[in-house]
Amino acid sequence: MKKTPVVTIVAVGIGAALFFVLSRFVAIPSPVPNTNISIQYGFLSFMAVLFGPVAAALMAFIGHALSDFSFGWGVWWSWVIASGVAGCVMGFAAKKVNLADGKFGGKEIVTFNVVQVIAHLVAWLAVAPVLDILIYAEPANKVFVQGLTAGVANIVTTAIVGTLLCFAYAKSRPAKGSLKKEN
């Protein structure tokens, strides 16, 4: 896939739609009651590697806002913005990892996971709780515990789902220099 501006715009749209579908319909119940494993962040990290920070931030922001809208009770802006930030930071892995060339080995896996852990820490332990306190005046210890729980859960799902997705996608691409000229 060639990366033109139009491809990026479409990727943001389809990415947001998938983010929405994954967060609304693909609920994998976790052992903790009333919490689902949010697979959408694994998907987001994969898209971030493919399309970069700006596209990933928009995808997460739009997808999260739409799913909040569709629940009907109002948009929890602080977490929507945190999702966008997570996508943006994850996107910086795109510079180091080039999936389109079909390369996703040990070095890339480490880079990818370091970046995604940083992204989740920034989003759920800094941005989300601070905005919760600023916008909604929630008590600090509550929002930090919420952020920590969400952050850890998201890091684990991203590590599993994101890595596997990148791996599967890279394998489906022809590797760079894999074709040889025949004499």
Partner 1 sequence: MNNFFNYIDRPSPVHSLTGATKLTCLVLWTFAAMTTFDTRYLGFLIVLGIIAFAVSKIRFSDIRGTLLFTMGFMMLSAIMLFIFSPEHGVEIYGTRNVICDLPGKYALTKEQLFYQLNVILKYFASMPVVILFVSTTQPSEFAASLNRIGISYRIAYSVSIALRYIPDITKEYREISKANQARGIEMDSRKISLMSRLKNAAAIIFPLIMSSMDRIEIIANAMELRRFGEKPKRTWYSARPFRAGDYICMLLCACLLGITVILIKINGSRYYNPFV
What are the φ and ψ backbone dihedral angles of 28, each rounded to 5 degrees? -105, 110
- Give me the half-sphere count of Cα atoms (radius 13 Å) on the Cβ side of residue 46: 23
Residues that bind partner 1 (CB under 8 A): 1, 4-7, 9-14, 16-18, 20-22, 24-26, 28-31, 34, 37, 39, 43, 46, 58, 62-63, 66, 69-75, 77, 135-139, 141-142, 145, 160-161, 164-165, 168-169, 172
CB of 18 to partner 1, least distance (A): 6
What are the φ and ψ backbone dihedral angles of 36, each rounded to 5 degrees? -110, 155
CB of 131 to partner 1, least distance (A): 11
Grouping H, G, I as helix, E, B as strand and the rest as coil, residue 37 is: strand
Identify which of residues 18 and 126 has a Cβ nearer to partner 1 in the complex. Answer: 18
CB of 162 to partner 1, least distance (A): 11
CB of 180 to partner 1, least distance (A): 27
Identify which of residues 139 and 174 has a Cβ nearer to partner 1 in the complex. Answer: 139
The C-alpha angle 96, 111, 35, rounded to 5 degrees, equals 120
Q: How far apart are CA 181 and CA 46, in angstroms?
A: 32
**31 C-beta neighbours (distance < 10 Å), count:** 6
CB of 121 to partner 1, least distance (A): 21
Q: How far is CA 155 from the centre of its chain?
A: 10
Identify which of residues 15 and 121 has a Cβ nearer to partner 1 in the complex. Answer: 15
Identify which of residues 11 and 183 has a Cβ nearer to partner 1 in the complex. Answer: 11
- Are residues 94 and 49 in contact, defined by beta-carbon separation less than 8 angstroms? yes
Identify which of residues 45 and 107 has a Cβ nearer to partner 1 in the complex. Answer: 45
